[in-house]
Each structure stands twice: as structure tokens, then as C-alpha cells.
């Protein structure tokens, strides 16, 4: 009966369990940070897209209001 293991965890197994628990917690925090950054990037892209579309709409409106520019004729070489 001397070969039977005790039910008390060894210090090494306790340390390993603590490291695993910390790794899981750190991983969850890292994933949350990545998701928050992704959300911030998407919001910024949406804001910039709206600004670009508004600017393009203004340019189109300004082009529609202006009369077409007349073409200048180049003087030819006299014969």
C-alpha cells in the first residue's frame, strides 16, 4: 500500500493549475480587448465613410449647378 497516491494535490500540481487558470483569464481579457478594438475600428470606418459620401454628394451638387466650361480653340498655324 506504499505505492498508493494521496488525495492531497502536490505543490507542483497546484502551481500548474494556477498557471492554467491565469492563462485562461488573460486569454479572455485579451479577446475582450481585441473585440473592443475591432468595434472602435468599425465605428471609425463608418464615420469616415459617411464623411466621404457627404463630400462626394456636395461635389456632385456643385458640378450640377455650374454651367459647362467652354472649350477654347487653339489658333492654327496660318497657311
- What is the DSSP annotation of 10-77? PHHHHHHHHHHHHHHHHHHHHHHHHHHHHHHHHHHHHHHHHHHHHHHHHHHHHHHHSPPPPPPPPPPP
Determine the Cα–Cα distance for residues 8 and 39; give it in Å rounded to an integer: 46
pTM for the full predicted model: 0.57
Determine the Cα–Cα distance for residues 35 and 61; give it in Å rounded to an integer: 39
pLDDT, tens digit, 9 for 90 and up, residues 3-61? 666 688 899 999 999 999 999 999 999 999 999 999 999 999 999 999 999 999 999 99
Amino acid at each position: 500500500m506504499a505505492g498508493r497516491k494521496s488525495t492531497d494535490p502536490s505543490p507542483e500540481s497546484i502551481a500548474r493549475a494556477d498557471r492554467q487558470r491565469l492563462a485562461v483569464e488573460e486569454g479572455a481579457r485579451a479577446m475582450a480587448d481585441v473585440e473592443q478594438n475591432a468595434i472602435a475600428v468599425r465605428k471609425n470606418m463608418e464615420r469616415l465613410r459617411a464623411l466621404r459620401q457627404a463630400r462626394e454628394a456636395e461635389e456632385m451638387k456643385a458640378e450640377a449647378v455650374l454651367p459647362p466650361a467652354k472649350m477654347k480653340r487653339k489658333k492654327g498655324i496660318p497657311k
